[in-house]
Structure 1
Amino acid sequence: MDITVIIDYAPMLLQGLLHTLWLALLAGLTALGFATLLTWVTLCCRYPALKTLVRGYTQFILGLPLLVLIYVLFFILPEYGITLSSPLVGISALTLYYGPYLAQVLGAAFESIPKGQFEACSALGISRWQTFRHVALKQALPVAIPPVTGLLIGLLKDTALLSVVSVEEFMYAAKQAISQSYAPLEIYLAVALCYWLVTLAIDSAAGTLERRLSRHRQA
């Protein structure tokens, strides 16, 4: 065990970690936006054909490995004249893959709210937007945060798959460091520790947010 190897390659690994966090942040935000759209179509859309399309897409994604989707975007789309940069392939793949998973969580959270509350708001003349903001969102968020956090942590860890299409993220930097240092034990140990610390921080922040929202809901 040679700690100096980790110190020597710390700048390279740190740069890769920052790229991973940036990719995960962008992909997480776009996946949540996509999930919100899918949830709206599933719960509120009046067009059965569109609902059927969303359900079919969701079922298809649930049975598809993420790596296959990455390969399709990176290798197959250029044959049809659509060429995306490696980072854009990564963000797109993570968004398309995690959107349906997040949509299922959001949909379940909103459906857990008793329908009588929506009927009461409608009878009182409260608009749909006010009902969503002051009634539905307050109750759905505490329910949705734990599973959403788990999915976003999974998204962060799955950025490691993007190294196969030369996205310069954390694992890509780790492979470069290993090819130069011939010290896989030290490098992979540092990578594992960094992933653990980041996921621990995300989980801790989500837990704090959930507790605050739950207290606010009870109040």
Structure 2
Amino acid sequence: MLGFIGGTGPEGRGLALRFALAGERVLIGSRDESRAKQAVETISNHLPPDSIQGVHNSQAARESSIILITVPFDAQKTTLEGLKGEMAGKIVVDVVAPLTFVRGRAKAVPVEEGSAALQAQKLLPESRIVAAFQNISADDLLIPDKAVECDVVVCSDDSEAKTTIMKLAERIKGVRAVDGGGLENARYVEDFTALLLNINRIYKGRHSMIKIAGI
């Protein structure tokens, strides 16, 4: 079971949709269960019955073996502190990219711990933290029959957890998983999201992602 914490936004819904299409059972979580159910309604017509459910964040964390964090960065600390017990011993995938917008331009936000993923590791010392999916286009994910032609860089200090998430990533049609090394490298992947958003602003209507040549 995959659980999305704060999964009602475009990135959470897009990833949830793709993994449910790939045959995973999915829980979309929210602080407000009614919002989670509304999020499910926006994508459920593309999915088999009972493949996805909207629940409270605590239920998503408690009942899932792999948990994906898709909250805004300014909500991450409070959210993770409140779910620490439910996520102990589990793979927790941090999808968060700390960003702000100044006059319409995206800028990376410095994080005291070094990155959102490293902050998650500090807050959840008993969880198996992986960083992934920060650079994948939510707009493309939400088009169910479209191949998402990109690489997903996966970083973790837990090699087994990293391998698990690399295999999961490649269940999305068109995605290649790339081993990004340890969690200390997550900052570069997170920060790159700001550049992609600014490229999208220049090339209006485009959804830029990354592909790494030479490997």
TM-score, L = length of structure 1: 0.27
| Structure with the higher strand share, 1 or 2 | 2
TM-score, L = length of structure 2: 0.27
| Structure with the higher helix share, 1 or 2 | 1
- The answer to which structure, 1 or 2, has the higher relative contact order (CA under 8 A, 6+ apart) is 1
